[in-house]
Amino acid sequence: MMSDPILPSAAPAHAGAAPQEQAVKVRVRDVTVSYDGAMAIDSVNIDIPDKSVMAIIGPSGCGKSTFLRCLNRMNDTISGCSVTGDIRIDEEDVTARNVNPVMLRARVGMVFQEPNPFPKTVFENVAYGPKIHGLAATRAELEDIVETSLRRAGLWDEVKDGLHKPGTSLSGGQQQRLVIARAIAINPEIILMDEPCSALDPIATARIEELIDELRQNYCIVIVTHSMSQAARISQNTAFFDRGKLIETGTTEQIFTNPRDRRTHDYITGRYG
């Protein structure tokens, strides 16, 4: 466009938006995992920012879930699994031998694909963690934690009149929110989610997504998902894994509008395989 030949016009200045600084919550360096000698993930390096959602995407068998399980040392429980490399949460090495995995898992909560409430009441499901970690001195404190956690998980209004019914009597979507309430009841810093919506219908999925978006104000969330549209909807950063390698990581906007790596591009646009 040209300026009017009669009226002088001011050219608009292009202001480049500076990227927001995000504090790093988890720093992963050279992490390699193998099962009985077969490499599952290969020298992964990634920084996971605090108070935001990072989505891990990639085809089946690419190492997404294995990576997630490294973060709270769930791989320790699998025989034949070896993990090398350095994982730091707030600069503290969590792979060190002297770190108690049970205490680590109190800091790093996890939500799985299938809702897995304990065969106990709704109340007991949420109260279980705070009880064993000694987070409540009195019954009143415990009740308070249960209510706050259920409210944060967006479930309180639906279950407040049936706190002593079995957790398994809830619907799938409610059970998944119950599990999330259980995870946040022990005040974790990080919440790992492994395909938390794959067993839910679209309405229940939308409620969980809304919940994840609220939770990110207070937690660092890492979510493995097969749904790329879900990754695009709820995450601020996305990491793409393929055949055990971290191919690309960036802001979700960048990954879904202009991925740098051809393999990422082919995967998210449906040209894979």
Partner 1 sequence: MPSHTLKAFTSELNALTSDVLRMGGMAEAMITDMATAFARGDSELARSVIQRDAEVNALETRLEREITRLLALRQPVAQDLRGIIAALKVSNDLERIGDLAKNVCKRLIAMGEEHGATGQKSVERMSRAVRLQLNTVLDAYATQNAQEAIDVWQHDEEIDEHYNSMFREVLTYMMEDPRKISQGAHLLFIAKNLERIGDHCTNIAEVVHFFVTGEDMPMARPKLSDLE
Tell me if 240 contacts partner 1 by CB under 8 A. Answer: no
Measured from the CB atom, the residue of 19 and 80 that comes closer to partner 1 is: 19
Interface pick for partner 1 out of 60, 77, 98, 258 (rule CB under 8 A): 258
242/271 Cα distance (integer angstroms)? 14
Measured from the CB atom, the residue of 88 and 265 that comes closer to partner 1 is: 265
> Smallest Cα–Cα separation from 56: which of 186, 205, 249?
249
Interface pick for partner 1 out of 53, 70, 232, 239 (rule CB under 8 A): 232
Tell me if 61 contacts partner 1 by CB under 8 A. Answer: no
Measured from the CB atom, the residue of 141 and 272 that comes closer to partner 1 is: 272
DSSP 78: S
> Smallest Cα–Cα separation from 85: which of 26, 13, 14?
26
Stretch that binds partner 1, among 105-113, 173-181, 194-202, 256-264 (CB under 8 A): 256-264
Backbone φ and ψ of 147, nearest 5°: -65, -45
Measured from the CB atom, the residue of 214 and 253 that comes closer to partner 1 is: 253
In the complex, minimum distance from the CB of residue 21 to partner 1, in angstroms, rounded to a whole number? 23
In the complex, minimum distance from the CB of residue 245 to partner 1, in angstroms, rounded to a whole number? 20
Return the exposure string of 162-199: e unless at least 16 CB atoms fall within 10 Å of the residue's CB, then b: ebeeebbebeebbbbbbbbbbbbbbbbbbbbbbbbbeb
130/133 Cα distance (integer angstroms)? 5
137/125 Cα distance (integer angstroms)? 18
Binding mask 160-179 toward partner 1 (x if CB under 8 A, else -) reads --------------------
The answer to whether the beta carbons of residues 33 and 40 sit under 8 Å apart is: yes
> Smallest Cα–Cα separation from 267: which of 69, 67, 60, 66?
60
Tell me if 229 contacts partner 1 by CB under 8 A. Answer: yes
Stretch that binds partner 1, among 93-101, 145-153, 216-224, 252-260 (CB under 8 A): 252-260
Binding mask 5-34 toward partner 1 (x if CB under 8 A, else -) reads xxxxx-x--x--------------------
Measured from the CB atom, the residue of 53 and 228 that comes closer to partner 1 is: 228
Q: Which pair of structure tokens corresponds to residue 46?
A: 């990634």
Phi-psi region of 118 (alpha: psi -120 to 50; beta: other; left: phi over 0): beta
Tell me if 217 contacts partner 1 by CB under 8 A. Answer: no
Tell me if 266 contacts partner 1 by CB under 8 A. Answer: yes
Interface pick for partner 1 out of 3, 45, 84, 169 (rule CB under 8 A): 3
Q: Which residues of the shown chain bind partner 1 in the complex (CB under 8 A)?
A: 1-9, 11, 14, 228-229, 232, 256-259, 265-266, 268-273
